[in-house]
Each structure stands twice: as structure tokens, then as C-alpha cells.
Structure 1
Amino acid sequence: MDNLVITEKLNDTFVLLTVSGSINSYTYHEFEKKVYGHIKEHSVVLDVSRITNLSSSGLGILMAASEDGDELNNKIYILNPSEVVKLAIASTGFSEVFPVIHSLDEVK
């Protein structure tokens, strides 16, 4: 089974979730719980620089959470995506949906 580690830091404007490991059929429930636990209250910044795999389940969570967040004026930001994450998002055509940032100062 693959390992997934998620740490979180809350500030006044957003929640930073630092995610490392693989988001796949074994681990997506933990990822879903963390993202959905915050998107209804805050914008979420996902530091995904250490993601080694992003399955379609993980992408589905991102899309659904983004839609839920939009209704409440909260966004999902992708911080420093790994090559795996860049390819997964680009291959689905969702590149315009998720703002990619390289610094927390870019969060609006």
C-alpha cells in the first residue's frame, strides 16, 4: 500500500495542506477528508511538490471541492506542483480550473 502524508497549517486567509506521497485508490479517502474538511470554510492551498502519483480519484476530489468552494467564494490553489501533478492536470484539460502558484504571497 502507498503512503500519503498530509500536514496542515491554518491562517486567517487560507489553509495550507502539504501533501506528499501517492494519491490513489488506497489513499484518496484521507485526501478527500482533509480537502473537504476545509474548503467550505477557507480557501485551500495544496503544496503538491512531493506528490508521486495523482489518480483520477484524486483529480475528481479536486474538481468537486473546487466547485463546492466556488459557491462559497473559496478557491483551491496548487502550490509548486510536481511533474506528476502537472501532467495529470494538463492531461485532463483542467489547467484553467486550478490557479498554480509558486509562493503563498500569490493567494488572493
Structure 2
Amino acid sequence: MEQHSIIEKQGANYVLYEISGSMNTYTITELAEKLDETIKKSNVVVDLERVDSIDSVGVGLVMATHNDGEDCGHKFYIMNPSAASKIALEETGFFDVFDVIHAVTEVS
């Protein structure tokens, strides 16, 4: 079984999810449910600093959450993407579309 953890923290105008481990078909269900529910109500920050791999399902979740945020009037932020997650997201050709931040103080 692959290691994966999600830590949720509430901010003034956002919800932060600190992800560690793999974001893939086998580990993504809980995160997908949380992101789907939260982006409808709040800005979301996903800290990818400790993500060691992300597959096409993980990339799809990031893109879908970004799009859902735009539809709902909320922002979706990627914070501190690890090398592996940055490469996976850059391969989509849409990396520049995402709001990439380095600290939650950058959330507007």
C-alpha cells in the first residue's frame, strides 16, 4: 500500500490541504471528495511540497478543482509544488494557468 496523508487546516479565507506521498488512482479518493466539497464554499490551497509522485488522475483532479473554483468564484492555489508534481503539471501544458504560491500569506 502506498503512503499518503492529508492534513486539513482552516485559514481566514481559505482551506489548506497539506498532501504527502503519492497522488494517484489508488490514493486520490479522499482528497477528491474534500476538494470537491471545499472549493464550492471557499478558496483552496493545496500544499504539494511533500508529494513524491502524481499520475494522470492526480493531475486531472488538480485541473478539475481549478476549473470548479473558477465556476464557483473561488480561487485554487498550488503551494510549493515538489519537483515531481511540478513536472507532472507542466507536462499538461497548463502549469501557467495555476496560481502557484510559496506561502499562505499570498492568498487573496
TM range (shorter): over 0.9
Separation in 2 of the partners of 1:53 and 1:34?
20
- The count of corresponding residues between Structure 1 and Structure 2 is 108
Which aligned runs of 4 or more in structure 1 are off by greater than 6 angstroms?
A: none
Task: Using the TM superposition, give the Cα deviation of residue 37 of structure 1 relative to its aligned residue in structure 2, in angstroms.
Answer: 2.1
TM-score of the superposition, structure 1-length normalised? 0.94
Superposed CA offset, 1:41-78 (max 9, x none): 01100111000111100111111111111011111111
How is 1:20-31 mapped onto 2 (pairs within 5 angstroms)?
Answer: 20-31=20-31
SS at structure 1 position matched to 2:91: helix
Q: Who is 1:65 aligned against?
A: 65
Task: Using the TM superposition, give the Cα deviation of residue 12 of structure 1 relative to its aligned residue in structure 2, in angstroms.
Answer: 2.7
2:92 aligned with 1:105: no
2:89 aligned with 1:89: yes
Q: CA RMSD in A?
A: 1.0
For structure 1, the residue ranges without an aligned partner over 5 or more in a row are none
TM-score of the superposition, structure 2-length normalised? 0.94
Separation in 1 of the partners of 2:103 and 2:68?
24
Separation in 1 of the partners of 2:8 and 2:56?
23
SS at structure 2 position matched to 1:92: coil
Separation in 1 of the partners of 2:66 and 2:12?
19
